[in-house]
Amino acid sequence: MPDESSPPPSRPLQALALAGWVALCFAAAATAAFVSKDGWYQALAKPSWNPPSRVFAPVWTTLYFLMAVSAWLVWRQGGWRGQARALGAFLVQWALNALWTPLFFGLHRPDLAMLDIAALWIALALTLALFWKVSRLAAALLVPYLGWVGFAAALNFAIWRLNG
């Protein structure tokens, strides 16, 4: 919980912090530079329920924004000092999120990506639980992300199994 003796962050600081959280969350998308352009992914066997490619950008745009607002809401309740565990957990899940693309698309390793996404789901569930203690709204904003990561893990597993 926030330290009752410290004043809330000023509006300009809150706006700057929100912009920072948005930038951080969208920075995970920068790992798309590792997406293979050699046709590797297109050549993979995929399950019939694999979404079309055009679905991924709007979904991730929405999820990154929700993640940013969620982290910002927690940050507002005591900053880094007051929310070190919750925000630290958030950074761990963010790093695992950012790592998945280079593993799957860059190294062409669905097996390693599966390990990463399983760890991501666990780290994200822990983050959600820690956020719940601070802000139920912040936790609720992570629910669609947790659902998508679960779906992505199932898809990752199916692709891994279909392609050996």
Q: Which of 9-13, 27-31, 145-149 has the highest mean pLDDT?
A: 145-149
Contact call for residues 20 and 79 (beta carbons, < 8 A): no
CA nearest neighbour of 118 among 140, 96, 101:
96
For the chain, give the percent of residues with pLDDT over 90: 76
Give the pLDDT confidence score for residue 32 in this predicted structure.
77
Separation between Cα atoms, residue 64 and residue 27, nearest integer Å? 9
Give the pLDDT confidence score for residue 37 in this predicted structure.
73
Give the pLDDT confidence score for residue 30 in this predicted structure.
86
Weakest-pLDDT range from 1-5, 129-133, 150-154, 156-160: 1-5
Weakest-pLDDT range from 3-12, 37-46, 84-93: 3-12
Name the residue ranges covered by the structural domains of the chain.
Answer: 11-162
Separation between Cα atoms, residue 31 and residue 8, nearest integer Å? 35
Residue 66 has pLDDT above 80, yes or no: yes
CA nearest neighbour of 90 among 135, 142, 32:
142
Separation between Cα atoms, residue 131 and residue 49, nearest integer Å? 32
Q: How far is Cα of residue 25 from the mean position of the Cα atoms in its chain?
A: 7
Q: What is the mean pLDDT of the chain?
A: 92
Residue 116 CB neighbours (<10 A): 23
Contacts of 113 (CB under 8 A, 6+ apart): 100, 103, 104, 156, 160
What is the CATH class of 11-162? mainly alpha
What's the whole-number mean pLDDT along residues 130-156? 98
Give the pLDDT confidence score for residue 10 in this predicted structure.
81
DSSP conformational letter for 83: T
Give the pLDDT confidence score for residue 38 in this predicted structure.
80
Looking at per-residue pLDDT, the higher value among 3 and 85 belongs to: 85
For the chain, give the percent of residues with pLDDT over 70: 93
CB-based burial, 99-110: b 16+ in 10 Å, e otherwise: bbbbbbbbeeeb
Residue 50, class by beta-carbon neighbours within 10 Å (0-12 exposed, 13-18 middle, 19+ buried)?
middle
